[in-house]
């Protein structure tokens, strides 16, 4: 017995371990017991004034009668945000005819103090385990984004969580996010996939800000400001267009689609899109195939900073007017169109820069980082006070557009 002691001890230990193990399986959740939440919507919980009064009245009545209030009381510390989720009916998807055949997806929402509590409140009425590992999009309502405190909480929740991938799309919704989440879209039944596909397939239009949660968080980390894509709701469609300007961790305003494209051009993020200019009253759409920018920074006479940004682009003309006398296959004419486009681009960029510098006062591009990397001496001077200095920096734009092709007819 003693001779084999090491071996027997090993076996004993293993057996005990195995026994303990089988009783556990602590993390095991069968895949069909999971609710794959593909899109998450967060709104601020608030009533309008009349609603507030009504609810309070009703609540007081109900309490007198000894019943629990049916509506959420307005002033409770617990009721701060509305979390809504949508998860697909996998039974239907798998083609096996699930247990509940009618609905493609299940919308749910609840009110609570923070995301995690809300999720656990939702869980008590769900037969499935909430799984966020395949989350595609997070929709944040305008109201919540404008509330700095709440917004920062929500941002941290996204950041700290290891389950939520940094690749999810983080969108600010014009209006209530819950509404956007619960619409019945025409084209794609599952909201999360719908939004994901919009982002993926329209990447080249440049009409929205091409960034994901990770980028937004990073931007916020570095300088407290960021640009996030905007979601616009229509009756049975969603559109991702334009962006939300986030300044000092709260939503400060919107930028339109063209403005967003200009911002991206300055940020060297444009990959495609259409600009329409008017030449002799004829609209000529120009399709961008490549775009870029170059930056030069100098001190001017008065010791202020000047930034000269050159906006470059290459592309094709895709439309003109039928049977027009002036042909496109004419170098001089093409050059004149180029000039028109250049002017347009400069105008757009100047406009948006003005808006961001003076109306918002936000360096959305993170030029401070650019200075830190490429001009460390300048950064050492101005880095700390960049927020005040930025609006004073003189921005000059110039543009260099090239038209390469004009289609198959002259």
Partner 1 sequence: MDLLNKLFKPKKKDDTKEMPREKGFADLRKNLQFFKERLKDCDDVVYREFSVGSKSQYGFAIIYVDGMVDKFLINEEILKSLMLEVTRSRPSPGLFSDNIYSLTLKGAVTSGEVKEEEYLDKAMTSLLSGDTLLLVDGYRKVIVIGSKGWTNRGVQEPQTESVVRGPREGFSETLRINTSLLRRRLKDPNLKIKQLQMGKQSKTDIAVAYMDNIVNRGVLEEVNRRLEAIDIDGVMDSGYIEQMIEDNWFSPFPQVQNTERPDKVAAALLEGRVAIICDNTPFVLLVPATLNILFQASEDYYERWFVASAIRLLRYVSASVSYLFPAVYIAITSYHPGLIPTDLALYIAGTRSTVPFPAFIEALLMEATLELLREAGIRLPGPIGQTIGIVGGLVIGTAAVDAGLVSPIMVIIVSLTAIASFTISSYNIAIPFRLLRFMLMLLALILGLYGIMIGILITLVHLCSLKSFGVPYLSPLVGTPYYELKDSFIKAPRISMQKRPESLSGGNDVRLRDKRREGPGKGGKSENGKKR
Partner 2 sequence: MARNDEKITSNQLVAIMISLIIGIGILSLPREVTEEAGPDGWALIIIGGIVSTIVAFIITRLGDLFPGQSVVEYSKTLLTTPLGILYSLGFILYFLFFCAFEVRVFAEVLKQFLLDRTPTEVIAATFLLTSAYMVRQGVASMGRMAELLVPAIIIPYFLFLLPAVGQMKYDNLLPVLRTSPLKLLSGAAVVTTSYLGFELALLLQVYMKRPKDAGKAMLIAMPLIMVFYLAVVISTVSVLGIHEVKKIIWPSLAIFRLIKVPGAFLENIHGFIMSIWVVSIFMTLSGFYYGAVLTLSRMLKLKDHSLLVLPLAPVIYFFSLVPDNVAKVYDFLDMFSMYLGIPFGFIFPVGLYVLAKLRGIKPKEGKDVEKPAAKND
Binding site for partner 2 (CB under 8 A): 6, 9-10, 13-14, 17, 20-21, 24, 26-27, 162, 165-167, 214, 217-218, 221-222, 372-374, 376
Task: State in angstroms the smallest separation of the CB of 38 from partner 1.
Answer: 7
101 binds partner 1 (CB under 8 A): no
Residue 302 binding target from partner 2, partner 1, none, CB below 5 to 8 Å by type: none
50 binds partner 1 (CB under 8 A): no
Residue 92 binding target from partner 2, partner 1, none, CB below 5 to 8 Å by type: partner 1
For the packed helices 115-123 and 148-160, what is the interaxial angle rounded to 10 degrees?
70
CB 268 within 8 Å of CB 293:
yes
168 versus 362: smaller Cβ distance to partner 1: 168
99 versus 186: smaller Cβ distance to partner 1: 99
Task: State in angstroms the smallest separation of the CB of 187 from partner 1.
Answer: 17
193 binds partner 1 (CB under 8 A): yes
53, 133, 236, 376: which one contacts partner 1 (CB under 8 A)? 133
Residue 234 binding target from partner 1, partner 2, none, CB below 5 to 8 Å by type: none
25 binds partner 1 (CB under 8 A): yes
305-317 vs 282-299, strand pairing mode = antiparallel
284 binds partner 1 (CB under 8 A): no
Nearest-5° angle of CA 181, CA 184, CA 186? 125
Interacting stretch for partner 1, rule CB under 8 A, among 30-38, 210-218, 230-238, 339-347? 30-38
Task: State in angstroms the smallest separation of the CB of 218 from partner 2.
Answer: 5
Q: Which candidate, 226, 227, 252, 265, places its Cα nearest to that of 348?
A: 265
34-36 vs 305-317, strand pairing mode = unpaired
Task: State in angstroms the smallest separation of the CB of 151 from partner 2.
Answer: 18
63 binds partner 1 (CB under 8 A): no
32 versus 343: smaller Cβ distance to partner 1: 32
CB 170 within 8 Å of CB 158:
yes
38 binds partner 1 (CB under 8 A): yes
376 binds partner 1 (CB under 8 A): no
Interacting stretch for partner 1, rule CB under 8 A, among 96-104, 110-118, 179-187, 237-245? 96-104
74 binds partner 1 (CB under 8 A): no
201 binds partner 1 (CB under 8 A): no
Measured distance CA(241)–CA(156) in Å, rounded: 25
Residue 90 binding target from partner 1, partner 2, none, CB below 5 to 8 Å by type: partner 1
Task: State in angstroms the smallest separation of the CB of 91 from partner 1.
Answer: 4
Task: State in angstroms the smallest separation of the CB of 188 from partner 1.
Answer: 13
92, 168, 217, 401: which one contacts partner 1 (CB under 8 A)? 92
Which residues of this protein are in contact with partner 1, per CB under 8 A?
Answer: 21-22, 24-25, 27-32, 34, 36, 38, 88, 90-96, 98-99, 131, 133-134, 136, 163, 193
């Amino acid at each position: 017995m003693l001779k084999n002691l090491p071996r027997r001890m090993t076996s004993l230990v293993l057996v005990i371990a195995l026994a303990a193990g089988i009783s556990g399986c602590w993390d095991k959740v069968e895949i069909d017991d999971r609710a794959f939440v593909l899109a998450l919507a967060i709104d601020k919980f608030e009533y309008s004034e009349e609603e507030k009064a009504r609810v309070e009245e009703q609540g007081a009545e109900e309490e007198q009668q000894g019943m629990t209030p049916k509506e959420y009381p307005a002033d409770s510390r617990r009721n701060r945000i509305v979390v809504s989720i949508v998860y697909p009916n996998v039974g239907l998807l798998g083609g096996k005819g699930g247990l509940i055949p009618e609905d493609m997806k299940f919308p749910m929402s609840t009110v609570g103090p923070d995301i995690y509590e809300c999720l656990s409140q939702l869980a008590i009425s769900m037969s499935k385990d909430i799984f966020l590992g395949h989350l595609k999009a997070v929709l944040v309502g305008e109201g919540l984004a404008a509330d700095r405190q709440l917004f920062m909480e929500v941002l941290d929740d996204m950041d700290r969580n290891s389950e939520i991938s940094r690749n999810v799309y983080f969108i600010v919704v014009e209006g209530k996010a819950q509404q956007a989440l619960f619409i019945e879209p025409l084209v794609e039944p599952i909201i999360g996939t719908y939004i994901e596909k919009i982002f993926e397939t329209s990447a080249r239009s440049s009409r929205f800000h091409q960034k994901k949660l990770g980028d937004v968080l990073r931007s916020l980390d570095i300088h407290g400001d960021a640009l996030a894509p905007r979601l616009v709701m229509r009756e049975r469609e969603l559109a991702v267009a334009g962006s939300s300007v986030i300044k000092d961790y709260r939503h400060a305003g919107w930028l339109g689609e063209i403005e967003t494209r200009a911002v991206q051009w300055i940020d060297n993020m444009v990959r495609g899109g259409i600009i329409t200019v008017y030449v002799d009253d004829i609209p000529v759409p120009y399709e961008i195939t490549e775009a870029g920018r170059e930056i030069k920074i100098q001190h001017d006479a008065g010791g202020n900073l000047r930034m000269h940004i050159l906006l470059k682009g290459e592309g094709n003309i895709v439309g003109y007017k039928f049977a027009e006398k002036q042909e496109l296959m004419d170098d001089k004419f093409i050059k004149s169109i180029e000039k028109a486009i250049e002017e347009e681009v400069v105008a757009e960029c100047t406009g948006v820069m003005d808006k961001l510098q003076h109306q918002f006062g936000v360096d959305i591009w993170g030029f401070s980082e650019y200075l830190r990397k490429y001009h460390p001496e300048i950064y050492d001077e101005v880095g700390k006070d960049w927020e005040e200095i930025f609006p004073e920096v003189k921005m000059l734009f110039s543009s260099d557009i090239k038209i390469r092709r004009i289609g198959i007819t002259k």
